[in-house]
Amino acid sequence: MRPSAGDADKGDPQAEPARSRAGSEALLSVVLEVLDDAKAENVVSIDLKGKSSIGDFMVIASGRSQRHVGATADQVLRKLKDQGHGRASAEGMPHCDWVLIDTGNIIVHIFRPEVRDFYNLEKMWSLDRPNELMAI
């Protein structure tokens, strides 16, 4: 019995991260599309490869008000569930100042603008690692 093409890379340690990364990129495009449809503002996507093992991507967006933040987060969660990613968890929904959605591979932060300015996650996660700066 010959292995199928899908079985060929089951034992290959290089194939699994590639499939996972491709899945993350597809999921990222879904998240970005929903945020655009929901009129989220100042959407930023940060590639976490080489920076952290918490996920592949981080997405940061703003809503105009608590209601907008909550509605946007709800739309993202619904779309993820419809796409078969119902395991995504959300924190901060009752107050809607800052809602965090964790899909496992992608972390989505939706803020009210003043809360986003206070925490400034873009600055923290966009910086190069110290040893990368030293290697230059």
Task: Specify if 5 maps to a domain.
Answer: no
Number of domains in the chain: 1
Task: Specify if 6 maps to a domain.
Answer: no
Task: Specify if 99 maps to a domain.
Answer: yes
Task: Specify if 77 maps to a domain.
Answer: yes
Assessment of whether the complete model's pTM goes beyond 0.85 = no
Residue partners of 17: CB distance under 8 A and separation at least 6: none
Task: Provide the residue-wise pLDDT of the chain in tens; the chain has 136 residues.
Answer: 444 444 444 444 444 444 477 788 889 999 999 999 999 999 999 988 877 788 889 999 999 999 999 999 999 999 999 988 778 899 999 999 999 999 988 999 999 999 999 999 888 777 554 444 444 4
- The pLDDT value recorded for residue 56 is 87
Range of the domain at 64: 15-134
CATH number, domain containing residue 91: 3.30.460.10
Task: Specify if 78 maps to a domain.
Answer: yes
Task: Specify if 42 maps to a domain.
Answer: yes
Side chain identity, residue 32: L
Task: Specify if 3 maps to a domain.
Answer: no
Task: Specify if 94 maps to a domain.
Answer: yes
